[in-house]
Structure 1
C-alpha cells in the first residue's frame, strides 16, 4: 500500500503561486481575498493531483512489504525523484540498503520501476511483519528546477497544462463562491477537465 508520509513542499512552495492566481482573477491590486484564494488554490492543486494521478507537490511516500521481491517492482508515482530502501533486520533494527545495490527508473506508464542488482543478497528481515521492507519514494515537480538542482531533468518541470488547470479551477470556485446551490460549486470548467484528461496517468 502506498502511503503519504511527508509533504516536503510547504505553503510557500506551491507549484502554482498565490500571486499567479491573483493575477489570473484580476485581484492583484488588493489582498482582502487572499485567505480565500489560498483555500481555493490548495483545493485546486489537490483536485488536479487526484484526477491525474500526478504528484504535484514535492512529497515522500512509503510502500511497506513483508519481504524482499525478485525482478521488477512497479509503483504508480509520477514523477519519482529518489528512492531509498530500508528494512527491519531479524532483531527489529532499521537498516538501509546501499544505493549501489539497486536501480530505479521512471517508466512511460507513469510508474517507478525498482529492481535489485546482482550484488544484492537479500538479508534476513523480521518475521511476520507487514513493514519488514520499506520503500521511501520522493516524488513531485519543481516550480523552479534550477533551485533544486533538477534543472537538467525536464520530467521534473511542472507541466504548463497542470498549471493552467489549477488556475482555471481555483478561479472558477472563487468567482462562484456565492453560488446558491452546492451542485454549482462542483462544476469543473470544461477546459480544465480537458487539460486534466490529457495529463492523466492511466493505471
Structure 2
C-alpha cells in the first residue's frame, strides 16, 4: 500500500513579510502565511497591536486587490444611572436632564420650559424632543435674545426695538415713537443701514394693527 503524499510545508512568514509584521503576527501565535490567510480578516483585526495601517500593509502583501472595510460601530452613549427616562428620550437628553437633577417623568413635567433651558447643554433641539415625547406635541419657541449693543442715550425707543434698529433710527434723527410714526416707510429705508429686515421689525411693533 502506497503512503499518502504529505501536504506541502506551510510558508514561513519571514519569506514574504517585513520583520515588523512578522514579529507582530508571531507574537500572536501566527507563524505561517497560510495561518495568516485563515485569520483574515476578523481575527487579524482583533490582534493586539494590529492597527488599520498595519492591516492595510498586510493586505497589500498577502491579499493584493482585497480591501476589507470594518463596519464602524459608534461607541454607545451610556444611559443615566437610576433615571426612569432611559428609553423614553435619547441617551444624550437623559444624561443632560440628569445633570440638572431631573430623572423621572414627574420631575420633567413639573419643570417649566425656562427651568429646562437653564440646564447646561439643554438647548431648543433637546427641548423639542422632550415636548414631542411628553407634552403632547406642544411646541415652545424661546424668545429671541438680542446680543447686547449699547443703547442710544436719549432715545425713547430703547427697549421697544432691537438695539441695532434703535441705533439706525437715531442716525436718521428719529428717537421718539411720535417721530417714528410720522415717518413713511420709504423715508425710513433711506436711512443709512436700515434695510427691509429692520423695517419689518418696526412695522411688527408699531404698525401691526395697520398692516392687518
Q: State if a TM-score over 0.5 links the two structures.
A: no
Q: Scaled by the length of structure 1, what TM-score is found?
A: 0.21
Q: Scaled by the length of structure 2, what TM-score is found?
A: 0.20
The structure with the largest strand share of the pair is 1
User: Which structure carries more relative contact order (alpha carbon 8 Å, separation 6+)?
Assistant: 1
The structure with the largest helix share of the pair is 2
